[in-house]
Amino acid sequence: MRTIGELRAALVMGYGFPGDADDFEAELAREISHADPADLSGVVRLVEEFRGRIVARQDPAFDTAVAAAIAEIRTARGTSR
């Protein structure tokens, strides 16, 4: 994903997390509306964040790692659900 258009396409096709496509558009509009034209670092940060979300979601080990972390937290809290 080298462009915002490619990032948008990936999100619309469901490569991120549920709701990411809408969240990205809303946050992008907000960042652009509030950005200083000489400093688009907020837009850059946003693009990097959502690109990372797509990469994480496509990692085959992601779901396993999340499940393991949840189990560890539940064990530490002493809950079983």
Query: Each residue of 11-66: pLDDT tens digit?
Result: 999 999 999 999 999 999 999 999 999 999 999 999 999 999 999 999 989 989 99
Nearest to 50 by CA among 69, 28, 32, 29: 28
Q: For residues 6 and 69, give the distance between their C-alpha atoms in angstroms, rounded to a whole number.
A: 31
C-alpha–C-alpha distance, residues 32 and 36, integer Å? 8
Number of H helices, E strands in the chain: 4, 0
